[in-house]
Structure 1
């Protein structure tokens, strides 16, 4: 219904992937976003890695929308970290092409030497 009556008017030709419905809130209950009294799920997004581990999530109440650009940024950051084998970490506000951090015991308490807020 959302795709037919809303998204198809926002995205020319509709979205290029199928949308699923969680009738009864089974999946929403598993992820703790289903409100059984209202019979709806709170808005949420979950970043799940190829091993099935939730790496990130955000749950918002209905009046506040999500930021798709931020979700894409986070997916790219998780991919970089995973592909580096854990030898790189992304600081606050990191975007592709920006400086990463090299996790080590020496970095603890010294992030300020390696990364500045102005680089965000």
Structure 2
């Protein structure tokens, strides 16, 4: 994707591992609700389980916001199951773990590291219309924070529900927002 924000989710079909079962998943399953696509380099690694475990620990908070998490790596759904079965941290995961061994989804989001065949650490928040609202890409050695992701999603949901308002830096749910106007120019 040359421009991420407001880009539409591209079509895909994949297999996912979730709650002891394999199932098919496609872009059609994602539309109509808020979603996080959470790309990570590979199963059985070091930073990845800390991030996925953090998401698992906060999964109920995401569900309360009607947000589904989809973790994605270029591993297969079989590898996801093996990792789930062998790691106490990964065993906590209840959200879908999508296998993308062909790299189709990873390339659709523009986070494939071609020379390695793995994904960058990319986070994409998709709105119910299937459009990307938030993008974060970090270096492989830098883990992400589920709490900060939740804050950003709350802001995205707020502005989606309140056209004409924007959320300032460090905005938290319940705090004041801004209504851009000529009156505010130079006064903030």
Provide the secondary structure at the position in 2 that maps to 1:87: coil
| Cα displacement (A) at 1:109 | 2.6
Provide the secondary structure at the position in 1 that maps to 2:140: coil
Which structure's CA Rg is the greater one? 1
Residue 95 (1) aligns with residue 177 (2): no
CA contact (8 A) 1:8 1:15 kept: no
Structure 2: state its 5+ residue gaps: 1-78
CA contact (8 A) 1:3 1:14 kept: no
2:92 is matched with which residue? Answer: 14
Residues 8, 96 of structure 1: alpha-carbon distance in 2 compared, 3 angstrom cutoff: farther
Residue 27 (1) aligns with residue 105 (2): yes
CA contact (8 A) 2:80 2:99 kept: no
Correspondences of 1:1-120 after superposition (within 5 Å): 1-2=79-80, 4-5=82-83, 8-10=87-89, 13-84=91-162, 86-110=163-187, 112=188
* 75-84 vs 13-22, which moves further: 13-22
Structure 1: state its 5+ residue gaps: 113-120
Q: Which structure exhibits the higher relative contact order, with contacts defined as CA atoms closer than 8 Å and separated by 6 or more residues? A: 2
Normalising by structure 1, report the TM-score. 0.79
1:118 is matched with which residue? Answer: none
| Cα displacement (A) at 1:2 | 5.0
Residues 105, 51 of structure 1: alpha-carbon distance in 2 compared, 3 angstrom cutoff: farther
Higher strand share: 2
Q: How many residues align?
A: 109
